[in-house]
A and B are shown apart, each in its own frame.
Chain A
Amino acid sequence: MGQVRAEPTRRAMLVAAGAGSLALAGCKGITALGARPKMHADVIALDHAITAEELMIARYRLALAALPAAQHHAGGTGKPKAGGPDRAVVAALLAEHKEHLVQLRARLILPPRLATASPQPSPTPAAAPAARHQILAELAAAEAAASDRLVGWLPEVPPALAQLMASIAAAEAAHVVHLGYGRLAP
């Protein structure tokens, strides 16, 4: 239930199809290009969701690396802080994104040959901004956008995967609050 069979594959196939076509084009010209294998919409949606989580994890890692320094600059005391609440929250949310990625990847069935192939390089976000409030604001904006995108892909996927993606979208929407946006006054 809820698994998406990549026939013949996911991203690897997209890449292979592109590379193969280019190789053929080099030998025999553009007319030799074959039709690209058709990807199912659910495979594409799941692939996008996995890529989005990988990107989010990369963002959070950059933010974590930047936060202590940012707090040092913001404090202006000259003493570097070891972490603080922002860092703890960001670390907790990063852990959740890693869980999201594990669950999304588990829904994708790859043919054996491709499952053992080298993984594609993960996407890399732009460098994290320097100021603490800017770091958190950019994470919050990325969370809101990721949540919206996930909901947009829901019509393409089987029911059980739709439930997982809707739950992740809900988690990401809540992350915006955990990052300090829209929280109730104490």
Chain B
Amino acid sequence: MTERGLAGPRGRTKQEVAALQAALAAEQAAIYGYGIVGAHLTGTRFAAAFADSIAHQRTRDSLTAMITARGGQPRPAAPAYRMPIAVHSAAQARSLAIVLERQVTAAYLGLVALAEPALRRFGADQMRAAAVRSARWGARPQAFPGLPASSLRR
């Protein structure tokens, strides 16, 4: 347990707000991205994109409240985001949804590393939710969602 307890209460809150801001930025980008995803889908897949977008909006609101509760100022969403994939078809829209969810999964690693158990739990639950959504969009199995390869022991 040597990695915990190094920061005082003020330092800890600063770390928490920074981790929450990182997760918030990823959620905001995902919400924007799902607008593009949904625009290229119809029927049940459109409904799925809509539902996932709502899930991200709810999480964004939770993160905003958590930042405010810690005396932080939630950073507003950007007017537009550069998407990692150009989307012109339903297949590309599904690929974008997978990439968005993978980015969201990685963005919660910072929260999981905090000492506060409730934030760890929240971060882990969001990682699980994003990994499940990614799988539903047809992603191949990933052994370590969100983790950079450099963090794994060889």
Q: Are A99 and B144 in contact (CB under 8 A)?
A: yes
The answer to whether A182 and B136 have CB atoms under 8 Å apart is yes
Number of interface residues of A (CB under 8 A): 41
- Per the bound structure, the CA–CA distance linking A167 and B142 in Å amounts to 10
List CB contacts (< 8 Å) of A124-179 with chain B.
Answer: 147, 151, 154-155, 158-160, 162-171, 173-178
Chain B nearest CB, measured from A14 CB (Å): 19
- Evaluate contact between B152 and A177: CB separation under 8 angstroms: no
User: Nearest chain A CB to B107's CB is how many angstroms away?
Assistant: 12
Instruction: Find residues 113-154 in chain B having any chain A CB closer than 8 Å to their own CB.
Output: 113-115, 117, 120-121, 123-125, 127-132, 134-139, 141-147, 151-153
B147 touches A147 (CB 8 A): no
Number of residues of chain B lying within 8 A (CB) of chain A: 42
Whether the pair A99, B143 counts as a contact (CB closer than 8 A) is yes
Known: A96-B143, A159-B114, A160-B113. A166 touches B124 (CB 8 A): yes
The answer to whether A155 and B127 touch (CB under 8 A), given A103-B144, A177-B132, A184-B44, is no
Contact A178 B113 (CB under 8 A): no
A96 to B143, CA, bound (A): 5
Contact of B131 (CB < 8 Å), options: A102, A154, A174: A174
For B135, give its contact among A107, A164, A174 (CB under 8 Å). Answer: A174
- Residues of chain B with a CB closer than 8 A to A167's CB: 109, 127, 144-147
Task: Name, among B109, B113, B124, B130, the residue most crowded by chain A CB atoms within 10 Å (CB to CB).
Answer: B124
Measured CB to CB, the nearest residue on chain B to A96 is B143
Q: Are the C-beta atoms of B117 and A175 separated by less than 8 Å?
A: no
